Each structure stands twice: as C-alpha cells, then as structure tokens.
Amino acid sequence: MSYLDNPIRLQEVRSFYLKRLLKPKLTSERADIVTRSYARTEGAHPVTRRAEALKDILAEISIYIEPWELLAGNLGPEPVSAPVFPEGGADFILEEMDSYGTRPGDKFEVSEETKKELKRILPLWKGKTLKEYGLSLMPEGPVRMREAGVFSAENMLTCGTGHFLPDYTTVMGKGFRGISEEAEAALMTLDLSREEGYEKRIFYEAVLTICSAIRDFSLRYAELADSMAVGEKDEERRTELAGIAKVCRRVPWEPASGFTEAVQSLWMTHLVCYIDSNGYGVTLGRSASYLYPWYRSSIASGEIDRKEALSLLVSLFFKTNDILKLYNNNAAQNYGGFPVGQPVQLGGIDAAGEDDTNELSFLFLEAEKRVKLYQPDIGFLWTEKIDPDFFQAATELVASNSKPKFFNYHVGSAMYRQAGLSEETARKDWAFIGCVEYGVPGKTWTWADAAMFNLAKCLELALNDGIDPVSGSRLGPQTGSPEDFTDFDQFLSALQRQIAYMFDLTVQGITALQVAHKHRWPEPYESLLVDGCMQSGKEVNQGGATSYHTGVQFVGFATVVDSLLAVKHFVFDNRSISFRDLADNLRDNFRDNEILRVRLLRETPRFGMDRDDINSLAGEIFTFCCDTAGRYRDIWGGLYTASLYSLTAHVGFGARVGATPDGRKAFSPLSDASSPSQGLQNGSVTEIFATQAKLPHHKAINGTLLNMKLNKKLLSGAEGTAMLQNLISTYFKLGGFHVQFNVVDVEVLKDAQANPDKYPDFLIRVAAYVTNWNQLSRDVQNEIISRAEMERF
Amino acid sequence: MGNAVSDETRGIVFNCESFSLHNGPGIRTTLFLKGCPLRCLWCANPESWSMEAEVSYNRELCIPECRECEKIAGSLLSERDREGKILIPPGIPRTDATLVEAAGACPARALSVEGYAVSVEDAVQLLCKDRPFFDESGGGVTLSGGEPLLQPEFSAALLRRLKSEGIHTALDTCGDAAPEIYRKVSKLADLVLFDFKAAGSDVHREWTGKSNERILANLEHTAAERPQQLRVRIPFIPGLNGTENEMSAMAKVLKALGISRADLLPYHRLGIHKYRQQGKEYTLGSVTVPVSETLQEAVQIFRDLGVELCIQ
C-alpha cells in the first residue's frame, strides 16, 4: 500500500499543501546558480548561455523526495517554494520583497537570509535583464499606454514564454537520448561554409548539453532514492524508493518502457520547462491519451494494477502544486492566486473521430477527487459522442471541486479551422492551453497571453475625444466630443477607432517584447518539444517552429457593451439626457447624481438579457475585436488571435478606468471575461447561457470564457448532477464554447471574508483556475461576492 | 403595468422564473399568477394574494435626495424618515392608484409594482424561450401562484397553447376551486402539483383561512382519475402541521386516496422581507426552520403508514 492510500495521510498531505500555499517560500538558490552561470558564459551566444544555465541549475539545485512521493523532480529546494529568475527581472524583486509577506494577495514568505542573498545577487543584474531590455526596445507610444493601463504585458516582460503544450509523447517514445542522437546526426551534416551552419551548430550543441544535463539530473534522483532506501525502515517504502531509483536511471533519457516510466518521463519533461523558463501555462494536455498505450501494456503485463496507476497519478497531481511563480505586485493584481496553469484535457475524440475516453480518463478524475488542490486544472472536452458515464463522473466532481471546466469540441474545432489547422489535428490533439486558449501539442509556439487589452479604457477615450480623464493627457486620436455625435453609430465608430489605434500600439509593445525574447531569452530546451526546431536547426524564438500565434485578451467586454447600450438608450433613443451631461457626470463619478447612476444601472438594457438587439450589438463588438487582432502577424508570421478572458485583470484594469455609462462607479472592477456585468441580475441562468451561445465564439481563436457561480445546493444529489449535465449539453448544442462553475453560497463567501481562519481550504474558481479564497486580495474577494447569485429562491 | 382587468386572453401575473428546478421535472420556467383564495400563515409570496397591482417598498434602495415619486404622489409621499427616505403612510392601501403610478417612476426601484397583465400570446412567447433547456432536461413550464385556478380562462388557454407547442406543463395548485373549474383546467396539464396542507378542516381554516372540503374532493378526483399525473406536495410547518398528530392524519388521508408518495417542502423564511416591504404582518415570526432530524421523523411517520415522502 502506498503512503497516500491511507486516507488520513492523504488528508495530512493535502493540509500541508493548503497551509504552505497560503504563504509559500521565496528561495534564492536558483538565482545564485544562474548568476554564477551567466558570469561563466559571458560573451557566449545567448542560445548557448541558456543551455549552459539550465545545465548548471539542474546540476546544482537541492533535490528531495518526500515520504509520500512516487515520482521525482522538484522546482524549489523544498515543496511549495518559488525560485527567483533574476535574468527576467531583478529590480522589482529588490523593491518589493519586503512587501511579499503582507501584500493583499499572492503572499510569499521571504526569510531574512533569503533577503540578504537576493540583495547581494539582484543588483548584479542591473541593466542586464529581459525586462530592462524589453522596455528599452519599446517605443514611446506603447510605453505610455502600458503606464496608462490601456494594455498590460507584464507576463512576457520578466520570464520565458510558457503557455505551450510540450511534445511529451516524443520524449516518452524515444527519450532524450533519441533526441540527442538526432542532434548528433544533424551536426555531422552541417555546411559550415554558410552562416546558417553556425546558427544550427550552436543550436544542436545546446540540445546535446541540455539532453545530457537532464539525464544527469535524473541520475541525481536515482542516487538520492538509493541512499534514502538504505536508511528506510518501512519495507514497502524501501521497495518504492528502489523503484524510483530504477526508473530515474532510465527515463527520461531512455524511451519509457512502462506506465511508471512514462509518467516519470512526462513529469520530468514538464518540470524542466518550469525550471528553465518561469513561463506559466505549460500544459499537460491530453495526458490520459498520451499515457494510455503505456497504461494498457503495463496492465496487460501485470507490471502495475489500476490502484497503483492511480497512486502514481495522485503523486503527479500533488507534484503539480509544487510549481509556483512569483508575480510582481502589479501583475499579482491581474494574475491573482498563483496561476501557473498546468491544465489536463480529458474527453474529446480521437483521430478516427470516436470518443477518446479511456480507463485512464476515469483515473484522472479519481486522482482529482483525492488531491483537490489548485493544480492541475482540468478541462472536459464535450462532444456529441461523449461517453455518458464519463460525463456523469465529471459533472459529479463539480459540486466538490469546482472542476473540471467544460469545452465544446465542435466550436473548438471550428477555431482550429479558423487558425488554418486541419480537422484531423483538431480531433486528436485539441486541448486548451493555460486558460481557454487553443494550441496543438508539440506543434504551436504560442504567445497566447501576450497582453491584456483594456477595452473599457478605449470606451473612456471615445467618450473624451481621446483624452484620458484620469490623467488629463491625450492618449488616443481625436474622435469627437460627446456633443459632436448626432447618432449612435457615430459614437460606435469613434469607439472602434480608439480600439484600432490602441491595439496597434499594443502590438508594437508586444513586438518589442518578442524581439527582446528573440535576442535575450532563447529557449533551446522548449525548442526540443515543439515541432520544427529540431528539423530546421533553429531555436524556437529565432523562428524554428512550424506554427506560431499570439493572443491578446480583450477585458471588460460586458462593461463596454452595456455602456454602449446605455448611451444608445438614454442619449439617442429616449433623449432623456444629453451626451455632454452624461459625460460630465461620468467625469464627476456621479457625484451629486446618484439618481442618474441608478437609472443607468436599472434601466439600461444589458448584455445577458437574451434580446436580439443586445445580442447583435455584442456580436458586432466581439467580431470587431477579433477582426482587429486578425489583421496582425507576430514576428514569426503567426496569427494574432483575440480572446475574452481576464483572469483577474478586470479588477486591475477597472482601477484605471473612471465611471462608465452602464452606471459602474469609477475604478471599480470591469466585467469579467465574456460574462455579463457583476452586481446585477442581468438575465437568468438560462438567459445568460442563451446569450453567450449567440456570440460567434469560433472567431475568438484564443478562446472565450464564461464563469458561472452556482449555489452548492443546486448541485446536490443525482438531480443536481443531471441538471448540470442538461445545462452544459444545452449550452453546447446552442453553440457555446466554454463554461466553468464556481460552486458556492454567497453567505459562505461573506462569512469566509469575515472569518478567513474558518476557511483554510476554501477553494474557489477565480477565472480559469482554482485557488484558495484566502490568497485573494479583498478587492478580488469583493468582486466575486458581488457577482449575482444565480439561484433565486 | 397597472390595473388591467383579466379577460379571456389576459392574465395577471407577478413573476416569471426561469431555471426553476423544484416545480416539476427538469429545468422549468414557472409563471406565477396573482390572486389566491387562501392566506396560509407561512406563505412566502404575500404579493400573490390579491389580484390587484400593489406596491412594494424596499427601503434600502431609496435615494434620499430623489423626489421622483413625490412629483407624482405629492403629499401622499412627502413624509420622510430620519435618513430622508420615504415613509408610506400606513393608512394608504398599497393598491392606491396614485401610489402605483408613483412607484412606476421610482428610478432606484425602491418602490415597485407587483402584478402586471399579460396576454396568452405574450406569455407563450416568454415561456417558450427556454425550450432547448426543456428538451434537453425533460423540463417544461409550471403555472403557479397565487392560485392559477382563480384565473381559469387564462390558465386553461395558456395550458392549451403550451400543449400545442409540445411543451410539458405542470399546474401547481392549492386545490381550492369549484370542482368543475378544477377539473376543466387541471386535466389540461401534464402534471398536477397538488399542495396538501392539513387533514383536519378546522386546523386548515385556522392556518389558511379556508376549510378543506372541496380541496380534498378535488384531490380525490385527480387521485382517482389521473393518479399518474398527480404529485402531492406537503409544506412542513413546525408547530402547525409539523406535528406527529397532523402528519399521521395527513398520511392516512393520502393512503386512503391510494396515494403512496408525496414531496415534503420544509418551511423556510425567505419570504419574510416581502411582508415588510408590502406593509403586511408576518405572524409566524417565532417558527424556526426545521432541522433535518425533524424532517426525517416526518418521513418515518409517513413511511409507517405506507406513504413515501421525498424531502425537497
């Protein structure tokens, strides 16, 4: 019996994680190693330097195997700790580290010793970080817009790319040894009389460095497990440790020979992405399908049974919660709750077009039922052909775990086609990346979260002739003052001009960062896991991959749609207020005119009510955003794609936007993702679904996201599960793309806010991820509370 | 809005609730008709009693500096409380025409009008909107109230039209109607949700204002004629019908009618704020929400007498 088969021990380990996740440790070890490595390789090619840095880190970081673990490989020197990546950005950590223990959300414990180390190390990076380089490349326009809160690209400013779906099956299938041999063979055939021969040589040599570094890293665990086995009194654990040692001696260097090796190989391949790049959203994809051939053969050969396979998955699921990322204070507001996004995709259909559910799919749900922590996020890919038992099992989980989230394959495959990918690829590979973004395993290199774009700020500029009322300075083009507009369409086109203008500057900002990544942060390791680089001999940020795309998230969608509806209704249709008066009242944040504000709030037709005119306006704005993005290509020729998801950026961006015509007060949160505005009952549950289903989701290739918070009582018993299935199937048959549920009681939320100590393990879905309630800042908590309770008595 | 009179094609309703999950099978839309012959002490919808439009006042929402209602109602609404919010004089009936008009002008919806007229056609259009959800879940439309049988022409026309649209219908009734009306309308519904409140006639009068003879006769009729389409629902009110005696008496009545299962609807207090808002008095202030053990005891009493209860 493995350690976690004992339910008491399982709960102990869960409690350990929950407690640690409230305030994980920030550690300086990696910062020290990478600093010494960069000093050693000064003057070498950036690709070489990244490979050498990874090698040094893997050789030197502290390693451990906890008593409950069946897999080996860790990010920080102890469970639930975050490393520092000074090469991404150093100044902000120096400035902010004293506040990490007490900031409103995403707290980190930073010991005095760590602070001392960081104060020694971080100044050495002055002028040398990705952040400084990226900002130095950024033209004045985007710099000003970023500062004004028009867009935010913090995610790509200080770390590697993340957000991709590594080609795990290649590593499981041929091992890093196989990849190494390919690199060696390629090196033999280079034409060194040509410039590109040198580029390729640098890349393939980096590949060799990395592959052997990972082999040696695994061997360190083999030795550790052996030495631990010597002192181990429990016979069963001794056997397990011997097993770990045996597995780590083989994989991921060799091809996996059975299920245990395949899981270890997958974990190690995955983990090294985080050790190397600090990017979030490295996706586990359709692991249940990737691992299934190994599972089947190991079950058949008697190497493992179902229960042992489950224990391995439980261990894997716990391990994903060790992966943490430090966000700066600013970014922590937009990415509240440590989102490191390691989603698993279950369900879907296979290459032959049949339901892809297998025994492992059920085991993944079983593992989630036991572990029930932040990570991994779980997606359920619904199709008309989905196994009803599996759908049942997945929906039963929602009441207790607020996972999985649900995706509609039929819309997802339309997105693939829109992005120029084949139906066959969509079938076998469809998986979401990070939150709701598309990506093909091992094929696409995505800047899926290149930037968050503040749609509501554009509205504010359209209301003020391009002047930002918050700062008083001109940001956008002169598109007219309120008194200039004689009909609604003129105002609508003013808004569209502001969006187009600001989006162009956002693309400039993103391009500067992509160039910075290309120059300063090549990712030779990740290049091994993406189609095209090994074949072309080109690192991924130099353009080696076969497919790229860049995604921008439009934030505040319903706020903008509702505001337009208010302007149309009050100013142009009813003429009950002049546009000038309305604009003046907004500038004054409705001071002395609460009556106007409640009129706007209560009498405005709102997105979420299923009315043709509202749906059509929403569709028009939605399409405009998608088309605007679709006009651009990233530095590698990849498509710009739009999405409507916001993580917690609707709170951060809301704080930069004054009062809006929908009756929203200045600086309060914007609407979240593609959901209707908060705070009012804008349509019933079924109306919201019907409205959402009418958006042309397939055009937002980077995904749309619908949050639904359901009262727990709604989901109780077989009736509740059946209701949820009916709701989801209806929504998807109507054409919806994604929905996720937060199962709560508003009273519970309020109580949890007042008495945090009573709710140490209150998990909540924030946007596309689940996190601990107590990790969220009060603003985000208030925001969640204010969302309309969906159950009416 | 307003005091429209119902005729063959128009009904007075006070609410339409979609995604309704406990008024029959599947995902449903429930239309609440205004007007009720009973005055159950525990009623959670006091706005359903009268068929006339009446005004509710949610003091929280009133904006002191606002004078919109006063512009219409004048001295009727000129009194203010300490925080400057309006005070509706207790002597004014909530159905007063000026008050109703003033409520229509309230921007904050602190004053609101309960009850509006709707034609059968408009109602059908509204109720069919969630058809995809009905189809997927085996749901449909429920007519509730108030008491739908107080507006028999409207209810009958609506049930017929919904049937012709292929939508499953349920009639939620207290059963207090003339037998010919009851029979004529109830047979049009695919399911009758029959509220059974007390076995004894005296206590029934004490708790609901009316005796239960014709209710029992109507129940008996459906139990005999259409047992498959009948679902009995029992509100469980601690201290009133929620006693051992009354529960066994009710179980015996059901058993005698050949009814072997019913739903138990535990007392809740979620409607109390509406009494305050409508200037009505709530007299069950001291009754508390039953705990699960108490409900289980009721289930056991029924079970011993051959009736299975399902707690909702």
Kindly list the residues from chain A whose CB atom is less than 8 angstroms away from the CB atom of residue B29.
Answer: 686
Q: Which two tokens stand for residue A259?
A: 């299920």
Separation of CA A691 from chain center: 26
Q: What is the pLDDT of residue A387?
A: 95
Pick A684's closest partner by Cβ from B18, B136, B139.
B18
> A-contacting residues of B 203-262, CB under 8 Å?
none
Q: What is the pLDDT along chain B (312 residues), one digit of tens a residue?
A: 333 334 457 999 998 888 888 889 999 999 999 999 999 999 989 999 999 999 999 898 899 999 999 999 999 999 999 999 999 998 899 999 999 999 999 998 899 999 999 999 999 999 999 999 999 999 999 999 999 999 999 999 999 999 999 999 999 999 999 999 999 999 999 999 999 999 999 999 999 999 999 999 999 999 999 999 999 999 999 999 999 999 999 999 999 999 999 999 999 877 787 898 999 999 998 888 888 899 999 999 999 999 999 988
Q: Rounded to an integer, what distance in angstroms lies between the CA atom of residue A364 and that of residue A483?
A: 59
Pick A685's closest partner by Cβ from B19, B108, B109.
B19
Kindly list the residues from chain A whose CB atom is less than 8 angstroms away from the CB atom of residue B19.
Answer: 684-686, 790, 792
Q: Report the pLDDT averaged over residues A22-33.
A: 95
Q: A457, A447, A372, A389: which is closest to A764 by C-alpha?
A: A372
Q: What is the pLDDT of residue A767?
A: 45
Residue A253: CA atoms inside 13 Å, Cβ hemisphere, count?
18
Residue A113 has pLDDT above 60, yes or no: yes
Domain with CATH 3.20.20.70 in chain B: 10-51+118-311
| pLDDT band, very low/low/confident/very high, at A679 (cuts 50, 70, 90) | low
Kindly list the residues from chain A whose CB atom is less than 8 angstroms away from the CB atom of residue B65.
Answer: 594-595
pLDDT more than 70, % of chain A: 93
> Is A594 in CB contact (< 8 Å) with chain B?
yes
DSSP A714: G
pLDDT digits (tens, 9 = 90+) for B160-191: 999 999 999 999 999 999 999 999 999 999 99
Q: Which two tokens stand for residue A408?
A: 């509609």
Domain with CATH 3.30.70.20 in chain B: 54-114
Contact A726 B137 (CB under 8 A): yes
Nearest chain A CA: its distance from B310 CA (Å) = 13
pLDDT digits (tens, 9 = 90+) for A733-744: 999 999 998 777
DSSP A735: T
Contact A793 B270 (CB under 8 A): yes
**H-run or E-run covering A575:** none
Contact B136 A730 (CB under 8 A): yes
- Dihedral, CA of residue A555, residue A557, residue A558 and residue A563, to nearest 10: 110
Q: What is the pLDDT of residue A462?
A: 98
pLDDT more than 90, % of chain B: 84
Q: Rounded to an integer, what distance in angstroms lies between the CA atom of residue A337 and that of residue A647?
A: 10
Which residue out of B30, B133, B168 would a mutagenesis test of the A interface target, given it has the greatest number of A Cβ atoms within 10 Å? Answer: B133
The residue type at A668: S
> Is B270 in CB contact (< 8 Å) with chain A?
yes
Contact B26 A726 (CB under 8 A): yes
* DSSP-based three-state secondary structure for A562: helix
| pLDDT band, very low/low/confident/very high, at A335 (cuts 50, 70, 90) | low
Q: Rounded to an integer, what distance in angstroms lies between the CA atom of residue B123 and that of residue B118?
A: 6
Question: How many CB atoms sit inside 10 A of residue B113's CB?
Answer: 23
Which whole-number Å values give the CA distances from A468 to A378, A449, A463, A464, A669, in the listed order? 40, 26, 9, 7, 18
DSSP-assigned letters across all residues of A536-555: HT--GGGT-SSEEEEEEEEE
Better pLDDT: A793 or A413: A413
Q: What is the pLDDT of residue B274?
A: 85
Rounded to the nearest integer, the mean pLDDT of chain A is 91
Separation of CA A617 from chain center: 29
Residue A787 has pLDDT above 60, yes or no: no
Q: A112, A90, A110: which is closest to A99 by C-alpha?
A: A110
Kindly list the residues from chain B whose CB atom is less than 8 angstroms away from the CB atom of residue A792.
Answer: 17, 19
Q: For residue A64, list its beta bridge partners.
A: none
**H-run or E-run covering B236:** strand B230-236
Kindly list the residues from chain B whose CB atom is less than 8 angstroms away from the CB atom of residue A569.
Answer: none
Query: Is the distance from CB of B266 to CB of B309 less than 8 angstroms?
Result: no
Nearest chain B CA: its distance from A673 CA (Å) = 23
DSSP-assigned letters across all residues of A109-168: B--HHHHHHHHHHGGGGTTTSHHHHHHHHS-HHHHHHHHHTSEE-HHHHSS--------H
Alpha helix locations (H) across A402-483? 409-418, 423-429, 455-463
| pLDDT band, very low/low/confident/very high, at A784 (cuts 50, 70, 90) | low
Q: What is the pLDDT of residue A756?
A: 72
DSSP B238: B
Q: What is the pLDDT of residue A792?
A: 28
- Superfamily designation of domain B10-51+118-311: Aldolase class I (3.20.20.70)
Q: Rounded to an integer, what distance in angstroms lies between the CA atom of residue A784 and that of residue A782?
A: 5
Q: What CATH code is assigned to B54-114?
A: 3.30.70.20
| pLDDT band, very low/low/confident/very high, at A501 (cuts 50, 70, 90) | very high
Alpha helix locations (H) across A232-258? 235-250
Q: Rounded to an integer, what distance in angstroms lies between the CA atom of residue A279 and that of residue A602?
A: 43
* DSSP-based three-state secondary structure for A48: helix
Contact B17 A684 (CB under 8 A): yes
Which whole-number Å values give the CA distances from B252 to A36, B200, B304, B307, in the listed order? 86, 11, 10, 9
Query: Is the distance from CB of A497 to CB of A479 less than 8 angstroms?
Result: yes
Kindly list the residues from chain A whose CB atom is less than 8 angstroms away from the CB atom of residue B63.
Answer: 594-595, 598
Q: Which two tokens stand for residue A228?
A: 């631990």
Residue of B nearest to A717 (CA): B312
Q: What is this model's ipTM?
A: 0.88
pLDDT digits (tens, 9 = 90+) for A133-158: 999 999 999 999 999 999 999 889 99
Nearest chain B CA: its distance from A692 CA (Å) = 14
Q: What is the pLDDT of residue A334?
A: 65
pLDDT digits (tens, 9 = 90+) for A161-185: 999 999 999 999 999 999 999 999 9
Give, rounded to a whole angstrom, the gap between the first and last alpha carbons of chain A.
Answer: 47
Q: Rounded to an integer, what distance in angstroms lies between the CA atom of residue A790 and that of residue A624?
A: 30
Question: How many CB atoms sit inside 10 A of residue A690's CB?
Answer: 25
Which residue out of A382, A611, A612, A684 would a mutagenesis test of the B interface target, given it has the greatest number of B Cβ atoms within 10 Å? Answer: A684
Residue A354, judged by CB atoms within 10 A of its CB (0-12, 13-18, 19+), counts as exposed
Which whole-number Å values give the CA distances from B215 to A637, B59, B250, in the listed order? 76, 38, 13
Q: A679, A646, A688: which is closest to A660 by C-alpha?
A: A679
Residue A770 has pLDDT above 70, yes or no: no
Q: What is the pLDDT of residue A711?
A: 66
Kindly list the residues from chain B whose CB atom is less than 8 angstroms away from the CB atom of residue A714.
Answer: 21
Size of interface A-B (CB pairs under 8 A): 70
Nearest chain A CA: its distance from B125 CA (Å) = 13
- Dihedral, CA of residue A575, residue A579, residue A585 and residue A589, to nearest 10: 110
Query: Is the distance from CB of A177 to CB of A211 less than 8 angstroms?
Result: yes
Contact A690 B65 (CB under 8 A): no
> Is B17 in CB contact (< 8 Å) with chain A?
yes
Q: What is the pLDDT of residue A404?
A: 92
> Is B83 in CB contact (< 8 Å) with chain A?
no
Q: A508, A518, A527, A616: which is closest to A564 by C-alpha?
A: A616
- Dihedral, CA of residue A214, residue A218, residue A221 and residue A227, to nearest 10: -120
Nearest chain B CA: its distance from A684 CA (Å) = 7
Q: Rounded to an integer, what distance in angstroms lies between the CA atom of residue B26 and that of residue B133?
A: 9
Residue A396 has pLDDT above 70, yes or no: yes
Q: Are strands B191-195 and B169-173 parallel, antiparallel or unpaired?
A: parallel
Q: B233, B229, B226: which is closest to B254 by C-alpha?
A: B233
Q: A369, A430, A358, A421: which is closest to A394 by C-alpha?
A: A369
